[in-house]
Structure 1
Amino acid sequence: MKLEDITKDMVLTGILSGTAVKVVTVEPSGDDAITVYYKTDDGRLGEQMLFRSNEADLQPIDIGRPWSLDAKPEDFRLGAEALRIHLAHLFDPLMAIHTSNVDPLPHQITAVYEEMLNRQPLRFVLADDPGAGKTIMSGLLIRELMVRGDLERCLIICPGSLVDQWQDELDRKFNLSFEIFSRDMVESSPSANPFAEKDFLIARIDQLSRAEDLQEKLLNTEWDLIVVDEAHKMSASYFGNEMKTTKRYQLGEKLGAICRHFLLMTATPHNGKEEDFQAFMALIDSDRFYGKNRDG
């Protein structure tokens, strides 16, 4: 490369051994020599006098347009749109409502956005009258946690008579695709543990509470959110100072240990016995509610 061809902003090899430098400016030093002022990749400035004998070592590097886009425009647009959706909750705090096929009532919005979403982690008993829309509230919670990037795996536990209703409402109202757990899943699963392979499942409470083999598989997994409908079925009672637990209650204790967010839904959390209610509340916070209160 001729000395006369070296210009400002050119990237060259041959000035410094083993690295390329960017020319800052060039000063002629007669007909057969120039002084090159350069900058290295780490920002250091330097200078070097070059002679005709150095021309054979000098090689320009074409760095192209450093800020040009050489990817497919369609891929760039897809990535930008994905990022926009991922950050949408920062600009729309009610994102789940606006992307779902529901028109929630004020008390449902208050429960989800003012009470539940602010709790990290969420350990919550959602107790409301039958027909108050607890399914809608849980669907909004699931949807909002997904939009905010806080939920990738969700398990719903409910009575067997409600699994189809749960699946239908989550799909129709929130566009959430949940599969209903069955024994056939275990047989067809490559790892024999569909709880580890499926991210969105609905399971029957009695099927799990009665099957220790299924509980063993479940305990080898972790979930971002577990929702239990008709949670009052996970009951325990005191006889004297001894607490008698049901299989459903024992399942509830195990569920609380494998999830970050734990939501219990029921219309009848209290059966009139304070100690039984305290045992129920221990499912969400065993440190706070464990044991029986002593009189006096």
Structure 2
Amino acid sequence: MRLEDLTRGTLVKGILPGTVVTIIDARWYGTAAVEITYKDHRGRTGQELLYRDREPGLELVSPGQTWQLNADGARFRLASEAHRIRLAHLFDSLLAIHTSEVEPLPHQITAVYDTMLSRQPLRFLLADDPGAGKTIMAGLLIRELVIRGDLKRCLICAPGGLVEQWQDELARRFHLSFAIISRQTFQESPGGNPFQEKNLVLCRLDYLSRNDDVQEKLRQTGWDLIIVDEAHKMSASFFGGEVKATKRYRLGKLLSTLTRHFLLLTATPHNGKEEDFQLFMALLDGDRFEGKFRDGVHVVDTSDLMTRPITTTSAMPTWRISFMSGSGRY
């Protein structure tokens, strides 16, 4: 188009990048330049002096044709599909199950969707029987939190012999790629701290508890969810009126401060000593379980701490111990 076409009310493309403006006024300076006053689609006004060399980049737009359907249809479909998947959890309450290679049992679905997901933040001890599928429940929780946008960084601590099993199960069943942190990982890390460079991490429990340098690197990080398998190994006991904490227990206290959601997994939460169990539960809330348990002085009502659901995986009783912070209910 020519500069002479820039008259009041004209819709023009090419004056502002990627948008159409409406000409409000045009004032000529000789025959080679015109000063225009325009309004964009948001109603904001502006002025610009145009010369003849701008004519090739200007395009006259007819009323009603502001939007042109000439974009790549495949890219539009990809963007709309990504948006649909991002909002899928709003319409499918069991989305993690339907997008994973797993067929969970009823008690596993109840534990994840009825008990754990509703707790914000989650401070939870899952103490089901051996073979009840604690790994599957943890995987479903991680997958669901990722889908809902509530989890980006996750750390799983497990005994040395179970780390590779965790990595395989999460990748095969839930399409979650976890990296195992080891001494070699630290040596190969560009920044010297792989905890900061990786979002989904597996680490051996003893490797963390026995290395102060590694724990110092861990203190520099924050996590959305930390899971500890075989959590009963993080034990402490009273001896001579003092708490004798193991290195694993001190690690548990550290992990509790670094995360929003904290999940402990074990089949044996109680060793028969109530004072040791209270120390163990202090990993979830030090205020709630502060001090040494004394029989007849401390009254511990477990009615709101423990449930005993019936499962189809074992004839043994299943205990599920939970803690909810900030509500007064434990």
TM range (shorter): 0.7 to 0.9
Distance, in Å, in 2 between the alignment partners of 1:249 and 1:278 is 13
* Cα distance, 1:193 vs structure 2: 0.5
Q: What secondary structure sits across from 1:287 in the alignment?
A: coil
Report how far residue 68 of structure 1 moved: 2.8
Distance of 1:173 and 1:83 partners within structure 2? 24
CA contact (8 A) 1:20 1:40 kept: no
Separation (CA, whole Å) in 2 of partners of 1:233 and 1:124: 16
Paired letter, 1:250: R
**1:191 equivalent in structure 2:** 191
What residue ranges of structure 1 are gaps of 5+ in the alignment?
23-38, 44-58
Which residue is equivalent to 1:253? 253
Structure 1 residue 201: deviation in Å? 1.2
Give the deviation of 1:284 after TM superposition.
1.1
**Structure 1 residue 114, shift from structure 2 partner:** 0.3
Aligned-pair identity in percent equals 60
Measured against aligned partners, the alpha-carbon deviations of 1:150-187 in whole angstroms (never above 9, x if no partner) come to 11111110000101111111111111111111111111
Partner residue of 1:50?
Answer: none
Structure 1 position 62 matched with structure 2 position 73: no
Matched position secondary structure for 2:60: coil
Write the letter of the residue equivalent to 1:14.
Answer: D
Distance between the aligned counterparts of 2:280 and 2:262, measured in 1? 13
Residue pair 1:15, 1:21 contacting (<8 A) in 2 also: no
Aligned to 1:41: 43
Matches within 5 A, 1:212-223: 212-223=212-223
Deviates more, 1:73-82 or 1:87-96: 73-82
Local SS of the residue matching 1:19: strand
Instruction: Please tell me whether the aligned partners of residues 8 and 25 of structure 2 are also in contact (alpha carbons under 8 angstroms).
Output: no
Question: What is the aligned partner in structure 1 of residue 211 from structure 2?
Answer: 211
- Structure 2 vs 1, CA of residues 132 and 3 (structure 1 numbering), >3 Å: closer, same or farther? closer
Deviation at 1:15, TM superposition (A): 5.5
Moved more, 134-143 or 171-180: 171-180
The CA deviation string for residues 73-126 of structure 1, in whole angstroms up to 9 with x for no partner, is 222222211111111000000000000111100000000000000001111000
Deviations 1:172-216 (A, max 9, x none): 111111111111111111101011101111110001100000000
By relative contact order (CA 8 Å, sep 6+), the higher-ranking structure is 2
Whole-Å separation in 2 of the counterparts to 1:281 and 1:172: 32
Q: Aligned pair in 2 of structure 1 residues 2, 284: CA closer, same or farther (>3 Å)?
A: closer
Could you tell me how far apart the structure 1 residues matched to 2:238 and 2:216 are?
27
1:244 aligns to what? 244
Q: Secondary structure at the match of 2:121?
A: coil
Matches within 5 A, 1:130-209: 130-209=130-209
Q: So what's the TM-score if we normalise by structure 2?
A: 0.74
The answer to whether the 8 A contact 1:13-1:61 is kept is: no
Q: Report the more deviating stretch, 9-18 or 180-189.
A: 9-18
Is contact 2:179-2:202 (8 Å) kept?
yes
Q: In structure 2, how many angstroms separate the alpha carbons of the residues matched to 1:115 and 1:276?
A: 26
Whether the 8 Å CA contact 1:226–1:259 is kept in 2: the answer is yes
Which has the greater radius of gyration?
Answer: 1
Q: 2:25 aligns with which of 2, 6, 14?
A: 14
Greater per-residue helix proportion: 1
Q: Deviations over 1:243-271 (max 9, x none)?
A: 11000000011111111111000000011
Aligned residue for 2:288, secondary structure, equals helix
What is the rounded CA distance, in whole Å, between the counterparts of 1:138 and 1:5 in structure 2?
A: 65
Q: CA deviation at 1:66?
A: 3.0
Partner in structure 1 of residue 234 of structure 2: 234
Contact 2:151 2:225 in 1 (8 A): yes
Q: Do the aligned residues in 2 keep the contact of 1:123 with 1:262 (CA within 8 Å)?
A: yes
> How far apart, in 1, do the equivalents of 2:277 and 2:255 lie?
18
Distance (Å, rounded) in 1 between the aligned partners of 2:8 and 2:208: 76
Q: How does 1:95-114 map to 2 (within 5 A)?
A: 95-114=95-114
**Residues 127 and 266 in structure 1, CA contact (< 8 A), matched pair in contact too:** yes
Count of matched residue pairs: 265
